[in-house]
Structure 1
């Protein structure tokens, strides 16, 4: 705390002018080395991640990889860097990852990582790679020198701006193409096809509906929780800068992020997918959305539990009464939304979801923030997993 008179005094020199950070290009010698390795690779994999990308660089890299047939994967919560309908898109390396993508990454004889930190989540708890193997196959390009070699030894590494590194890679002409991209994309399409559930709401089907209902440039946001596994698996991003999600695992991120995105892009649809516990971390921001006329849509997946923690409790203590402090006593979210002056609609079955979503979108287009209260079943704790199954039942 500072005395009030101090706070009122002149603070010194005027604020510094904005400065554009320096951007390091890719060393030509490293680029040449990548070209040599790429030309002799049989099973290459490109992994993109990190921040600061230009749309132009992301598109150029995607075009280059598509022409060559190289599989491209997004790092954790970076699915929107490469359009998911590209014929060589392989899926994202995140939570609930496709087992076939994991196998593909382990079998790769060249992994080119651009901007991705290759931390805990994309490397599946540091089990995806073997350090001796990465020393032979990993090319790591990252703007932060502290990331290079910190966990994974590399065959080649360079400090470079993500976009400049990507643009440099597109100049490589290995003199050959691969069939790996087509096969990897087929695996992704199969994995991102909705799966059956036990409850009345199939969250996989609801998320898949967003693919056809929303425009390609719609911004999708989320916080943290098991609900996000359904979103990341079954929603297919078709444009850059359409995903806002916390790489830190922060609950409550999605709804404020949606409000911020709508403020920056008022002409784009913004949809937040939130868990019940996740949403309640920052649900009071409905007041902000209404007060400043920022008409976002939030889909609250209400299964009455902190799903991620509940899943760990059930997994580590199957069949034992060790479910503690994860059940939630939720409000009627429709009434809650209406109390702020927002629009609310309740949805209890998969069949009712398209109409509920359309009603919420119509309210948002008319200028009113909207909420869909989607009643899910905790039994369907994650895609392809149930509480009964975790208990060995």
Structure 2
């Protein structure tokens, strides 16, 4: 007869068996489980906000491919749900645990209690309430299956008890049983239908100017070699920002970032293409320039592990359902090998021309430091195995367009839209990758959100290097505010600007290393030494709020 376990012990052992090494939480939640997790050697990272805990779990999941775990008690459930938006948009395998009052206390104005299902409906693909510990085995396994599905997204379990204690202390009469396949991505690697591959290959071979665009699905599939083989057939490769890092930015065949956060030349190439091959891309507005960059007459081929994504945003696509890496292996074997390099050379010339245009600012000695110079020094100092984590907005544009990655050791994560995500996500990523350097690029506006997590990084000695593009403003919003004011006089800066703050001194007050950079000539040593110091470090770089990040090109409405 199987040993009867408490819910807490069953949950802890299951997380361990799924391969979870860290959990992120706000007290008070699942205290009995946290005790059991300590016995099993799982790190329990107490954050300073529920949103911070959710972002850490998201960064952990994206960096490792494992399921990220975050938790909060009943009163923190709304805050935790808000933190899952980025994980949902980025297709990240995160599971959130919350507590709720027991049935006799519901609908009676119980302290701190509101209904949780509606909070999680739009930010998870699966949410369930557990009213008895006996439900735990089935629903926990289902949460892991859902989180690691073909389109990975967060799941949520709401445990009975304000802190989940009723479930924790209840009995579970069956042995721990987990499917370790669902402990990380991809849970399954499905082969494509050969007829679909052949149909797509024939279409691609008729194209004169094809372009491939990779997204996060290709990254999850680990399809770097396969994408490189595709490029070797004469097809230039671009990426949405969630696909950056998979290919070598220095290769002639690499086009760079496309979509809304791209340099001007990139969307022009997409618009000139007569066929676009989307590989593990969600074909969102961000990836496609508000769905306008592809020419209306261009053929679309779409590869995705989830059939529901094929054709979501473009009609008449030629679809291939399967693991992007496995699909590309079969596809490349069928593609013609005599395409030549004329088209790649043409696209590379456009990219090279733009890089030459921005080069003077990339080597500028101006004060305040140009962001282009900051990006150049990061690129030079970034270790061969580093993970670069970028916040949203300008941080994504600057790093996506101005920092080249090697495609064979360096990786990239960016926020899916939540300002302030970058720093706590980098902490979670560092937990997942203890042997690799993790560098976070954010603006001062984003860093303000969760700078209290400096204490978390110091407490666990997580050697994250945070590079703050400190322009004392929300730089991306300045043009929009000024456009609204137009000829009106007034204090536009009230909407976009902050008082100067020395974040290096703030870091030191938290017990972390802080380095202030006011001269561009000091950047190289500051970044190199900060990364090498093996301690949490903030490099506060004084920049100018006026220069704008590159603007993406969009075709006129008639096109």
Q: TM-score range by the shorter chain?
A: 0.7 to 0.9
Matched, 1:267 2:435: yes
On the 8 A contact 2:263/2:551 being kept in 1, the answer is: no
Q: Deviation per CA, 1:234-278, whole angstroms, max 9, x where unpaired? A: 1001125610112x2111221122222222222222111111011
Which residue of the partner structure matches residue 101 of structure 2?
Answer: 2
**Counterparts in 2 of 1:169 and 1:120: CA distance versus 1, 3 Å:** same
CA RMSD, aligned part only?
Answer: 2.5
SS across alignment from 1:382: coil
Q: What pairs up with 1:241-256 in 2 under 5 angstroms?
A: 242-246=411-415, 248-256=416-424
**Counterparts in 2 of 1:74 and 1:325: CA distance versus 1, 3 Å:** same
Distance of 2:445 and 2:264 partners within structure 1: 28
Larger radius of gyration: 2
Matched, 1:166 2:328: yes
Q: Aligned-pair distance for 1:36?
A: 1.2
SS across alignment from 2:377: helix
Q: 1:148 aligns with which of 300, 310, 317?
A: 310
SS across alignment from 1:268: coil
Matched, 1:203 2:371: yes
Q: Aligned-pair distance for 1:19?
A: 4.7
Q: 1:370 aligns with which of 513, 516, 537?
A: 537
**Counterparts in 2 of 1:318 and 1:230: CA distance versus 1, 3 Å:** farther
**Counterparts in 2 of 1:12 and 1:317: CA distance versus 1, 3 Å:** farther
Q: Aligned-pair distance for 1:150?
A: 1.9
Q: Aligned-pair distance for 1:155?
A: 3.7
Which residue of the partner structure matches residue 267 of structure 2?
Answer: 102
Which residue of the partner structure matches residue 329 of structure 1?
Answer: 499
Distance of 1:327 and 1:14 partners within structure 2: 57
Distance of 2:368 and 2:501 partners within structure 1: 20
**Counterparts in 2 of 1:228 and 1:9: CA distance versus 1, 3 Å:** same
Q: Deviation per CA, 1:197-225, whole angstroms, max 9, x where unpaired? A: 87521110111122222222211001113
Q: What pairs up with 1:223-372 in 2 under 5 angstroms?
A: 223-240=391-408, 242-246=411-415, 248-320=416-488, 321=490, 323=492, 324-329=494-499, 331-364=501-534, 368-372=535-539
What's the TM-score once normalised by structure 1's chain length? 0.88
On the 8 A contact 1:277/1:305 being kept in 2, the answer is: yes
Structure 1 residues without counterparts, runs of 5 or longer: 386-393
**Counterparts in 2 of 1:311 and 1:216: CA distance versus 1, 3 Å:** farther
Distance of 2:213 and 2:301 partners within structure 1: 10
Structure 2 residues without counterparts, runs of 5 or longer: 1-99, 103-160, 182-186, 553-559
Q: Aligned-pair distance for 1:309?
A: 2.5
Q: Aligned-pair distance for 1:195?
A: 5.0
Distance of 2:310 and 2:221 partners within structure 1: 25
Which residue of the partner structure matches residue 207 of structure 2?
Answer: 41
Distance of 2:458 and 2:359 partners within structure 1: 34
Q: Aligned-pair distance for 1:122?
A: 1.5
Distance of 1:378 and 1:311 partners within structure 2: 11
**Counterparts in 2 of 1:50 and 1:227: CA distance versus 1, 3 Å:** closer
**Counterparts in 2 of 1:381 and 1:337: CA distance versus 1, 3 Å:** same
Larger deviation: 4-13 or 111-120? 4-13
**Counterparts in 2 of 1:175 and 1:182: CA distance versus 1, 3 Å:** same
On the 8 A contact 1:45/1:105 being kept in 2, the answer is: yes
What's the TM-score once normalised by structure 2's chain length? 0.63
Q: 2:290 aligns with which of 101, 111, 125?
A: 125
**Counterparts in 2 of 1:189 and 1:285: CA distance versus 1, 3 Å:** farther
Distance of 1:234 and 1:155 partners within structure 2: 32
Q: Aligned-pair distance for 1:109?
A: 1.4
Distance of 2:322 and 2:485 partners within structure 1: 46
Distance of 1:275 and 1:207 partners within structure 2: 13
Distance of 1:300 and 1:175 partners within structure 2: 46
Q: Aligned-pair distance for 1:316?
A: 4.2
On the 8 A contact 1:140/1:148 being kept in 2, the answer is: yes
**Counterparts in 2 of 1:74 and 1:353: CA distance versus 1, 3 Å:** same
Which residue of the partner structure matches residue 391 of structure 1?
Answer: none
Q: Aligned-pair distance for 1:39?
A: 2.0
Larger deviation: 12-21 or 353-362? 12-21
Matched, 1:379 2:546: yes
Matched, 1:29 2:191: no
**Counterparts in 2 of 1:11 and 1:250: CA distance versus 1, 3 Å:** farther
SS across alignment from 2:440: strand
